[in-house]
Amino acid sequence: MSQDSSPDQKNPAPRKGSRLLRFFVKTGVFFAGLGLCVALLVAMALALAWPNLPDLNAMTDYRPRVPLRVYTADKVLIGEFGEERRNVLRIDEIPDVMKSAVLAAEDDRFYQHGGIDWLGVIRAGLTNVLTMSKSQGASTITMQVARNFYLSSEKTYSRKFYELLLTFKIESSLTKDQILELYMNQIFLGHRAHGFAAASRTYLGKPLSEVTAAEAALLAGVPKAPSRFNPISNFPRAQVRQHYVLNRMHLLGYLTDAEYQEAMQQEIEVRAGQGTPAGGYAIHGEYAAELARQLLFNVYQDNVYSRGLNIYTTINSRDQELAYQAVRDGVLAYTRRARYPGPEGQASLAAGLEQDAQAFDERLDEILEAYPDSADLQSVVVLAASGDAIKVARNSRTIIDITDKKVLDVVRRGLDPKASEQQRIQRGSVVYVRKTGDDAWEILNMPGVQAAFVSLSPEDGAIRAMVGGFDFNRGNFNRVTQAWRQPGSSFKPFIYAASLERGLTPATLISDQPFSLTAAETGSRDWNPKNYGGKYEPALTMRQALYKSKNMVSIRILQAIGPKYAQEYVTRFGFDANRQQPVLPMALGSGEVTPLQLAGAYAVFANGGYRITPYLIDRVTDGEGNVIMQARPIVAGDSAARAIDPRTAYVMDDMLRGVATSGTAARARATLKRNDLAGKTGTTNNSVDAWFAGYTPSLVGIAWLGFDQPRGLGSSETGGGVAMPIWIEYMQGALQGVPETRRPEPSGLTRQGGELYFSEFPPGQAVATLGLPVPDLVGDFLNDLILREQQGGQEGASGTSDAAGNSQIPPIPLPF
């Protein structure tokens, strides 16, 4: 008899296998469903996010925020304005060693991956999970470009998702070289430098094309943390990062063993290049650059700082540097002569502190921080002072002994043991020193006086040089354009010019006797002007009076032609009538002018009688070099610019040449040894303002010196003594190689007795005298006759005789 078995006993294995199969099927279905859901979610996210991704116009049509740059006429950079400093280079202009350093530091598989380095992403993700933070990233160069152009730097998953999508979009639209070019021009590298070309100038002082492997590695290490790894802020940390980059370059085969060793041993010199915030510029054109910026800002407003505009000024770089040095020398020369007021400050300095170099340096840094340098004027602290020596310290390594007697004489007042506490130079005093030779130094105060200089072409008004003060960094007030000061005697030629068209001539004899007005005549108070030095002569010709700058003669000329007429007349030179009140003191320069205004006025004499408008900007170009603004100046010779009679200009030029030959400005010709110089000194009451205005037919220059808060320069200081040396120093360089010229004499002039006359005012019809007593010709004749009879004389006449023996009576001056 057989026995049936149960189903489980018959097929135990298949039943167990089917359960496993069902388990795996269900698991597979679950994960497939999950994957499908994830895929659907990703697809939905992509569908929602992709359309919201920005277009790539900012990259495909790359227009970086390039600063406004200001250049001289000969293309020397003198100013840069904008938050970002950048020099955009094409990929083929970037040296291979710089590209290699960047790839080694940031993304060595850049040319192999599709924008995302997945191995790096997984590694960074695991690190973040283990540390429970979001500190690690795996950004490729493409991802950094996406972030720099379009996204923030915050570490959130949503931002990272958009970054990944944008990375794919960039990789599909641009080539690898295009992406790398954008990165190397756009990345921020500290100290306002964007891009490696700007960083090379900022940190190494050289163009990117000249960097070595060691220097390239230094720059390539900065993007890791621009605020911490840049060599100016923290050189030790920058050097650690540099060594890491060099090691990576070596491992990746970018550097041979020998090249790697050489790069590791190279000493890096960190120095800011010219044209950077720390490095300054090749020439001192700060005042001109700032004025150019202001002028263009009035057109474009804030947009001017990011469009990459270039301003090309009319400034000549050589002339500008000559003017800068002349102003500095003129101010320092006055400062040496002026009464020494005492040291700049006083600080406590423990005895023997200099024995501890570190503590000594720290204390000096604390003291000198409040006393910044001014170019070659350097602040120092006095260690010891006596009547025959001063020891000063800049730091523990720079200690200077000053023993030259002439140098010490400048500050002798401060070395007197009886000097007041404020005036005495002693241990702890802060003073300024300036190097004058290999081992020679002088000790000075920071000048309190100011000066300004401007030169321009009289043909079209193009400004060749502009220095608005002693030091732009101590205040950007531009005294060339903003300082309204009394011109003093430098204004007299314009009064003389007005009189020439009213019948006076250079030969007119004018009284130089004292002149006064009562309070009743002035309507306020008595007026008793004086000649400089209190010297008076019976009479002088107009020419002689201009040579000697006689005040009494100038007043009588203005009185004769009328102040209202003179006020209207001087506006032809560009002066503001509201600042030239029609009163007799106007003859002595009591009105107000700026140095630039005076330069434009003297240009009328220099160019033959045409009023030109001084201008600074020649042209403006955009980032591609296209000219978007071009100056079209008024040019001398244009009939519409005629300001005064050409004869007036010629006669005044002739007289002003005499001033520079044998008058108050004779030092100009004696020094420069040129026959085409013309000019006039100017000194106001109490020597508050000192001027020299001079020119040749090709160049006008105006020099001014004074205090910003008007006060006397000193009773012995004059325009010829303090302002003219500035003008001469500038012209010595500016006129080198420039031939002497003289404008041709215009028609309508006649010469008699060596003097010039207008044809309508010849001798006998022009004004012969002014301010002199009218002679009693009949009485004089009779008195002379009686006298001659008493002496037995037989001539019987007071005049000269002509060839026929007829008596010649001098002509009576015409009423004026």
| Residues carrying an active site annotation | 106, 489
Total residue length of the chain: 816
Which residue type sits at 770?
L
Place of tokens 């590695």: 217
Whole-angstrom CA distances from 621 to 65, 348, 468, 633 are 15, 55, 26, 18
Torsion of CA 753, 757, 760, 765, to 10 degrees: -50
The rounded distance, in Å, linking the Cα atoms of 249 and 55 is 35
What does DSSP assign to residue 811? P
How distant is the alpha carbon of residue 485 from its chain centre? 21
The rounded distance, in Å, linking the Cα atoms of 433 and 609 is 47
The rounded distance, in Å, linking the Cα atoms of 499 and 543 is 12
Longest dimension (CA), the chain: 203
Structure-block tokens of residue 649: 């200009």
The rounded distance, in Å, linking the Cα atoms of 690 and 230 is 49
Nearest to 199 by CA among 233, 249, 148, 152: 233
The rounded distance, in Å, linking the Cα atoms of 166 and 163 is 5
Residues with Cβ within 8 Å of 306's Cβ and at least 6 positions away in sequence, in order, are 65, 66, 67, 82, 83, 84
The rounded distance, in Å, linking the Cα atoms of 324 and 466 is 8
Using the CB atoms, write b or e for 336-368: b if 16+ within 10 Å: bebebebbbebbebeeebbeeeeebbebbeebb
What stretches of 82-153 show up as alpha helix (H) in DSSP? 96-106, 118-131, 141-150
Helix (H) or strand (E) holding 282: none
The rounded distance, in Å, linking the Cα atoms of 45 and 40 is 8
Nearest to 108 by CA among 148, 141, 145, 147: 141
The rounded distance, in Å, linking the Cα atoms of 124 and 137 is 6
Neighbours of 22 (CB within 10 A): 10
What does DSSP assign to residue 444? E
Structure-block tokens of residue 708: 């910003």
Place of tokens 């089917």: 18
Which residue type sits at 236?
P
Nearest to 107 by CA among 138, 152, 84: 138
Strand 193-194 versus strand 310-313 pairing type = unpaired
Residues with Cβ within 8 Å of 358's Cβ and at least 6 positions away in sequence, in order, are 396
3-class DSSP state of 43: helix
3-class DSSP state of 630: strand
The rounded distance, in Å, linking the Cα atoms of 140 and 117 is 7
- Beta-ladder partners of 69: 80, 310
The rounded distance, in Å, linking the Cα atoms of 214 and 220 is 10
Structure-block tokens of residue 509: 């004899």
The rounded distance, in Å, linking the Cα atoms of 12 and 10 is 6
The rounded distance, in Å, linking the Cα atoms of 814 and 505 is 13
Structure-block tokens of residue 237: 């940390």
Q: Are 222 and 216 in contact (CB under 8 A)?
A: no
